[in-house]
Amino acid sequence: MIFSVALRTVMILTLIGVLTCCRESRQNVTPDEFRNKTTVDLPTYFAHKRILLDTMARYERLRYRPHNIEMDSIGQIVIDTILYSPQKNKMAFFVIRGPISGGYNAHCYIGLLDDLKIENIRWLDFYNLSFYPSIEQASNRIREIHFTEFNLRQDSGLDYNLDDVRFWNDDDVWKSGAKCNWNLPTLK
């Protein structure tokens, strides 16, 4: 009898804990007044997308050549989304690669922008998404993370999501690169 009551109590407390945990969202959506709504005209966007695609493809060739890995084995490279700072002098972009071992990988990069010249491209490596079954799922998840969860990661030192205008003023990210893993090699 005592065991039955104790078991019921443990089950009820566990259920309450699960329901409470599931109710709390790990999302922290950027408030509307701080949401970055910067856009560029379509020809500029597509020119940037082409430059970034060429840059990332050259980088991948440099990265895999020493290991004698054929480019075909790493799949396609997709520039999924490009975000611009309010002053249009900085950018962030999502890259999806795959299929690799049956899945798609997604990463975020940042760079400095001067018209059609993109410099100092760096991997913002706090979240690396691997082995998503489709490009669409990788795209949805990388957006969700960087727009609603990015500022929640304790070890990032970042206070704002990527779609927050205040993110673009974080000097630690843009000047020193201290919050980025590494720079891409200079490609000519």
Tens digits of residue pLDDT in 167-188: 998 877 776 554 455 455 544 4
Q: Assess whether pLDDT exceeds 50 at residue 25.
A: no
Model confidence band, residue 47 (pLDDT cutoffs 50, 70, 90): very high
Q: Summarize the confidence of residues 18-31 as an average pLDDT.
A: 57
| Rounded Cα–Cα distance for residues 25 and 28 (Å) | 8
Cα three-residue angle 34-38-44, rounded to 5 degrees: 165
Q: What is the pLDDT of residues 127-147, one digit of tens each?
A: 788 899 999 999 999 999 999
Q: What are the sequence ranges of the domains in the chain?
A: 34-183
Task: Share the mean pLDDT of the chain.
Answer: 78
Instruction: Say what the pTM is.
Output: 0.77
What is the C-alpha separation between 116 and 185, in angstroms, rounded? 19
Q: What's the alpha-carbon Rg for the chain, to the nearest Å? A: 21
In whole angstroms, what is the distance from residue 147 CA to residue 141 CA?
Answer: 10
What is the pLDDT confidence band of residue 95, given thresholds at 50, 70 and 90? very high
Can you give the three-state secondary structure of 41-66, one letter per residue?
Answer: CHHHHHHHHHHHHHHHHHHHHHHHHH
Q: Does 36 score more than 60 pLDDT?
A: yes
Reading the block at residue 141, the tokens are: 């998840």
pLDDT at 121 over 60: yes
